[in-house]
């Protein structure tokens, strides 16, 4: 009997995408035996009110440049093509329609974001539709994260996992600040993404407040 398809959905603002994201996606793909990982740059996230997010077309193109050499990675414009605010529940439902009810979905994103999941739109339904993988780096309030994840597990069962990825010491905020200050970003992200940032003069002003 054919086994069900297992898909990773890598959600993030990717402003910009960096090696921390790429290493995370590859580590989760391996650990959870995923058939592929689809990167989904966030469209118009309702929770991003403090900071101006870079134009979605730039974030989408940088994500394509960064993932192009990995045959197990794809990029979807499902959220950037959507009008209005974008919610994970709508994204997962669309993927379910595309890939069929039997497909298992693993939504991968940063632990900080996953810890807020109970506040997301239709959280109850979402936690029944797919698994969640919270990515964090070593030494980051591990106990607090575990306690929060346990609370969610008590309510919804074994639907949420934590992975610790040392490369997540790299952060998009730090990269934006470095560019604004004229400091190097080499080796923090793929070279084509670095060139893209230079070409379109992204992050020249420090807007990462
Ligand atoms: P964020 O608050 O900007 O990021 C939180 C932390 O997680 C940051 O340290 C970030 O590092 C890291 N991170 C983000 N995406 C990651 C990824 N794919 N892998 C590893 N680390 C990651 O989070 P966000 O990017 O806005 O949102 C994350 C995802 O959750 C998006 O897909 C978003 O649409 C979804 N979300 C949905 C709802 C909802 O449906 N209501 C609400 C909130 C978030 P970097 O800054 O270095 O990336």
Residue 72's CATH number: 3.40.50.620
Does residue 58's CB lie within 6 angstroms of at least one atom of ligand 1? no
Does residue 196's CB lie within 6 angstroms of at least one atom of ligand 1? no
The reply to whether 202 falls in a domain is no
The reply to whether 182 falls in a domain is no
The reply to whether 82 falls in a domain is yes
Task: Dump pLDDT digits (tens) for 134-167.
Answer: 999 887 777 888 998 999 999 999 999 999 999 9
Give the tokens for residue 28.
């989760």
**pLDDT over 70 for what percent of the chain?**
96
The reply to whether 148 falls in a domain is yes
Evaluate if residue 78 carries a pLDDT over 80: yes
Q: Please give the model's pTM, rounded to 2 decimal places.
A: 0.96
Centre of ligand 1 to C-alpha 109, Å, is: 6
Give the tokens for residue 23.
């290493």
The reply to whether 184 falls in a domain is no
Evaluate if residue 1 carries a pLDDT over 70: no
Beta bridge partners of 100: none
Does residue 85's CB lie within 6 angstroms of at least one atom of ligand 1? no
Give the per-residue pLDDT at 50.
67
Which atom from ligand 1 is nearest to the alpha carbon of 87? 40
Centre of ligand 1 to C-alpha 110, Å, is: 5
The reply to whether 61 falls in a domain is yes
């Amino acid at each position: 009997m054919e086994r069900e398809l297992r898909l990773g959905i890598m959600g993030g603002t990717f402003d910009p995408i960096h090696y921390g994201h790429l290493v995370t996606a590859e580590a989760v793909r391996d650990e959870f035996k995923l058939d592929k990982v689809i990167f989904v740059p966030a469209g118009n996230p309702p929770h991003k009110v403090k900071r101006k997010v870079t134009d979605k077309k730039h974030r989408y193109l940088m994500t394509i440049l960064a993932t192009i050499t990995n045959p197990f990675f794809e990029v979807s414009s499902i959220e950037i093509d959507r009008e209005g605010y974008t919610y994970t529940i709508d994204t997962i439902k669309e993927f379910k329609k595309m890939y069929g009810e039997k497909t298992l979905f693993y939504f991968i994103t940063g632990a900080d974001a996953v810890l807020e999941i109970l506040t997301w739109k239709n959280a109850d339904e979402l936690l029944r539709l797919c698994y969640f993988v919270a990515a964090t780096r070593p030494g980051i309030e591990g106990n607090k994260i575990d306690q929060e994840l346990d609370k969610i597990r008590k309510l919804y069962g074994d639907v949420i996992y934590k992975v610790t990825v040392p490369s997540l010491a790299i952060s998009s905020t730090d990269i934006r600040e470095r560019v604004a200050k004229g400091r190097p970003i080499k080796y923090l992200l793929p070279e084509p993404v670095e060139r893209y940032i230079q070409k379109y003069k992204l992050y020249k002003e420090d807007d990462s407040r």
